[in-house]
Amino acid sequence: MEKDGNGSRFAFYQEKSNGEYLLHLHHIISSLGYCKPEIPKIHTRKGAKEGTIRYIYRLRSYTFSSFNWIHSSFYPNNRKVIPTNINLEDYITPLALAIWVMDDGYYHKNKGISFSTNSFTLDEIKYLGNILKSKYSLDYSIVKTGTINQYNIYIPKESAILLGKIIKKHLAPSMYYKIPVQCFL
């Protein structure tokens, strides 16, 4: 989320290799009237290695002052947090879960799905996990990433299948690899 003038907007950036996902997301957001209907264009950036170029799709929503509460809830002091001033359970819908999986999910073949939640505190991650458990009956565990004070949410195989069945209709086809094949049986 970005501040822009007196308002806030959502911003999405994806490598060209994930272009189908970003175009899928664009279709959702533009059909709701939150961004231009024109297809996002590819932009270039310098890569980390000298002389390399990265190809990026960029999508931004329109800027609205009515989005400022979202920005201030999730980015107090310019640090992304899991807010406690709103009932987040109301906002973690199947579509939101699908976007979360497409953005930050990783399917461990024949095992489960993990979410990259490294930037959040342990208490914030527990809060998210408890929402997944209470709202969708998804079992989860919290695993260390190998870096001090960084953790991921891990959804084991049976719950990963349930999660996949909940979100599959919202996934871009190029992202089907992020859920177990059993979700399609």
- Domain formed by 86-185, architecture: Roll (3.10)
Task: Give the pLDDT confidence of 154-182 residue by residue, as tens digits.
Answer: 999 999 999 999 999 999 999 999 999 99
Confirm if 128 and 83 have CB atoms less than 8 A apart.
Answer: no
Percentage of the chain modeled with pLDDT above 90: 82
pLDDT for res 78: 86
pLDDT digits (tens, 9 = 90+) for 93-112: 999 999 999 999 999 988 99
- How much is the mean pLDDT over the chain? 94
Residue 88 has pLDDT above 90, yes or no: yes
Type and span of the H or E element at 74: helix 68-74
How do the domains of the chain map onto residue ranges? 1-80, 86-185
Q: What distance in Å separates the CA atoms of residue 176 and residue 124, rounded to the nearest whole number?
A: 28
Q: Is 1-80 assigned to CATH 3.10.28.10?
A: yes
What's the pTM?
Answer: 0.89
Share of the chain above pLDDT 70, in %: 100
The confidence score (pLDDT) of residue 184 equals: 87
Q: Average pLDDT, stretch 14-20?
A: 90
